[in-house]
Amino acid sequence: MEKKCQSCENIFAVSRSNRKYCQKCSGDKTKYNKVYKDNNLEKVKESQTLYQKSEKGKLNSSRYEKSIKGKKNALKKVKKYVSTKKGKLNHIKAQLSYRANKKNIMHMFTMSEWIKMKIKTNGICPKCGVNVSLEKLTLDHIYPVSRAELGRIYTINDIQPLYLSCNSSKGDKVA
């Protein structure tokens, strides 16, 4: 099938019926769109916001979030956030509250108490004695959450910072 380019009026072969421009002009349009976006950033953002609030925008957004590409993009954002200091703290809080809600237990210590406890170790794992960085020390419940009775309250004295491999190998043992 052949079509007439709407820009230069040359005739070109079409594999899809919805193309309006030849290959040369479609490349020019892409460059034009990039320049327009750079020069009219506020207008473009406002237009995007209006579209995202519309029914069509909401539908396309939910389709994208469910797609493989959307899930991968969301995962990248989460990994980037969790690598920040604030993200790491919020990730630890979320993990603790998830497990606490599951077993109906409570954590009666603050994040600042936990950070002070990690700093006291100087990055050395109390179980194996290996010098690792403070970031690699993970929160370990001395009495495991999996064995905790319903409604148990964990204080700062019931937890310890352990190297991830030591924490994993400990499993559900009390120590």
Tens of pLDDT, residue by residue over 52-92, are 899 888 888 888 888 888 888 888 998 899 889 899 888 88
Domain boundaries, the chain: 82-170
Per-residue pLDDT at 102 exceeds 80: no
**What was the pLDDT predicted at 29?**
67
Q: Does domain 82-170 have CATH number 2.40.160?
A: no
Eight-class DSSP state of 149:
P
**What was the pLDDT predicted at 16?**
64
What pLDDT, in 10s, does the model give residues 126-172?
999 999 988 889 889 999 888 888 888 999 999 999 998 999 898 88
**What was the pLDDT predicted at 4?**
83
Question: Which residue would you say has higher pLDDT here, 92 or 28?
Answer: 92
Q: In the numeric block, which tokens belong to residue 11? A: 């005739």
Question: Which residue would you say has higher pLDDT here, 78 or 22?
Answer: 78
Per-residue pLDDT at 99 exceeds 80: no
**What was the pLDDT predicted at 160?**
92
Please state whether beta strands 11-13 and 2-4 pair in parallel, antiparallel, or not at all (unpaired). antiparallel
Nearest CA to 121 out of 168, 172, 174, 163 is that of 163
**What was the pLDDT predicted at 26?**
74
Question: Which residue would you say has higher pLDDT here, 18 or 165?
Answer: 165
Backbone angles phi, psi at 73, to 5 degrees: -65, -40
Strand partners, 38: none
